[in-house]
Amino acid sequence: MRAWAGAAVLATLACTAAGCVTERDFALDRAITSVHEMVESDLTGIGSAVSQGSDRDRLVAAHGPKIFDSRPLDGGFELDMVVYGHGEAGGGWTYEQVKVRTCVRVLVRRDRSPAAEASALECPPGLPTRVDGYGDIDQTVEFDPKTASR
């Protein structure tokens, strides 16, 4: 019995020293990937809509509560959006699910390609922490345009 206890302690210490990744870490990584993919999908849709003649008001109406602010600019407009994603990892005894959100500022220019580009934006404090279709949001993550298309 002592041998098993000693082995368990050694395994725990080795795992801690080596920086073992938990199922929650895997789920968070997958959630971050998911939210980046959702931003990329939204950018593609916005760019397509703009190329077909959609304006700021149409896009705001089409994206509903995801767009929490917008403003006109010379030659285009900006949209401030919240985007949600989730990730899962494990199974059986160690299943984890993580739900995240990120906020982005989308710069839309009709005369550029791509027509829509996103940059990181701090999420405002008034956003809900419980969202229909996702439930409770576990974490807010920062959008990184450099890793969005990984």
Q: Write out pLDDT tens, residues 37-80.
A: 999 999 999 999 998 888 899 999 988 889 999 999 998 999 99
Q: Which of 99, 101, 103, 102 is nearest to 135 (CA)?
A: 99
- What range does the domain containing 100 cover? 22-140
Q: Examine residue 54 and state whether it is found in any structural domain, yes or no.
A: yes
User: Cβ(54)–Cβ(116) under 8 Å?
Assistant: no
Radius of gyration, alpha carbons of the chain: 20
Q: Examine residue 8 and state whether it is found in any structural domain, yes or no.
A: no
Look at the chain and report how many structural domains it folds into: 1
Q: Examine residue 145 and state whether it is found in any structural domain, yes or no.
A: no
Q: Examine residue 7 and state whether it is found in any structural domain, yes or no.
A: no
Q: Which of 14, 35, 36 is nearest to 146 (CA)?
A: 36
Which two tokens mark 45? Answer: 């849709």
Query: Is the pTM here over 0.85, yes or no?
Result: no
Which two tokens mark 43? Answer: 């950018």
CA 132 to CA 130: how far, in whole Å? 7
Query: What dihedral angle (degrees, nearest 10) is formed by the CA atoms of 127, 131, 136, 140?
Result: -40
At 62 the three-state DSSP class reads helix
What does the pLDDT look like over 51-61, one tens digit per residue?
Answer: 888 889 999 99
Q: Examine residue 51 and state whether it is found in any structural domain, yes or no.
A: yes
Q: Examine residue 70 and state whether it is found in any structural domain, yes or no.
A: yes
The pLDDT value recorded for residue 20 is 78
What does the pLDDT look like over 4-38, one tens digit per residue?
Answer: 333 333 343 344 445 678 999 999 999 999 999 99
Beta-strand (E) ranges in the chain? 67-73, 76-89, 96-109, 116-121, 130-131, 135-136, 139-140
Is the peptide bond between 114 and the residue preceding it cis, with omega within 30 degrees of 0?
yes
